[in-house]
Amino acid sequence: MSNFGRIASLRPPVAINLAERSAASSCGDCGARHHGMCDALSDEELIFLSGAAQHLSLPAGKLFMEEGEPAQYFYNVNSGTVRLFKALPDGRRQITGFAGPGHFIGLAGEMNMISAEAMEPVRLCRFSRAGLRSMLTEFPALERKLLDVAMHEIVLGQQQMLLLGRKTALERISSFLLSWAQRQEICGPGKLPRPHARLSLPLSRTDLADYLGLTIETVSRSLSHLKKQGLIEIPSIHEIVLLRPQALADIAEAAG
């Protein structure tokens, strides 16, 4: 049985009189409140949306969406990090991205094009795809936000193609570290983090290798090289300090 079969189905959302809904929404404390689709909605609209969602708490390592399965649901990440990947014919995997608070998962196509797995304890809102049209009718702002998300995903896909197709191992590692700083909102889009900025990395070296199209050995050598050059520090397996962000940017842009 697939993982979808192990999760109870969610009925499509029904009309709710917002004025009669007295229960406080849990969305105010959600890590995704001001990210992704939720940022496009008012507090009152979020009460409606929260009532249409099934709230899931998943442990690390839980696979909740499988490539090739019917796309019955889509998800909004509330907290934690999700690994997105495709299985290769020889048994290997290619990580295509990582989803955090505010990110959508599972919007495209009738079949799941990727698999999704919790990398750490994760909280999700799950919505029935059958109710998506009703939700878009109810919330026009949500439809516009979904278009913005789709355009952003296209840009990320183009950046990943450049990363895998043209850049060396050092350039890939440097690009990833700077992009992760933006992801954690240590710096704004297109900006460099301050020197000595500290990154939290929930992903393993294997995850990093699978995402960047490298071997684990190459990832380790590249990180060691950057450390010896005084560009980064590695306090622990899940932490990296960016000592000289501008130098990392110079390496990352060498193939640009």
Sign, CA dihedral 65-69-73-74, equals positive
pLDDT confidence of residue 3:
33
Query: Please, which pLDDT band fits residue 20 given cuts at 50, 70 and 90?
Result: very low
Q: Single out the residue of 32, 24, 37 nearest to residue 142, CA to CA.
A: 37
Residue 228 or 159, more confident: 228
Which pLDDT score, from 0 to 100, does residue 102 have?
Answer: 80
Q: Please tell me the class of the 167-255 domain.
A: mainly alpha
Give every CB contact of residue 242 below 8 A, 6+ residues apart in sequence: 177, 178, 181, 193, 195, 196, 197, 198, 199, 231, 232, 248
Question: Considering only 14-23, 44-53, 179-188, 195-204, which range has the smallest mean pLDDT?
Answer: 14-23
Question: Which CATH number does the domain 22-157 belong to among 2.60.120.10, 2.60.40.1120, 3.40.309.10, 2.60.120.380?
Answer: 2.60.120.10
Q: Which tens digits make up the pLDDT trace of 202-246?
A: 889 999 999 898 999 999 999 999 999 999 999 999 999 999 999
Distance CA 123, CA 80 (A): 7
d(Cα 165, Cα 25) in Å, to the nearest integer? 45
Bridge partners, 97 (sequence order): 84
Element (H, E) at 157: helix 140-166
Contact 169, 214 (CB under 8 A): yes
Q: Where are the domains of the chain?
A: 22-157, 167-255
CA distances in angstroms from 73 to 59, 105, 138, listed in the order given: 19, 9, 18
Q: What is the pLDDT of residues 162-177, one digit of tens each?
A: 556 578 899 999 989 9
pTM: 0.71
Cβ–Cβ under 8 Å, residues 106 and 151: no
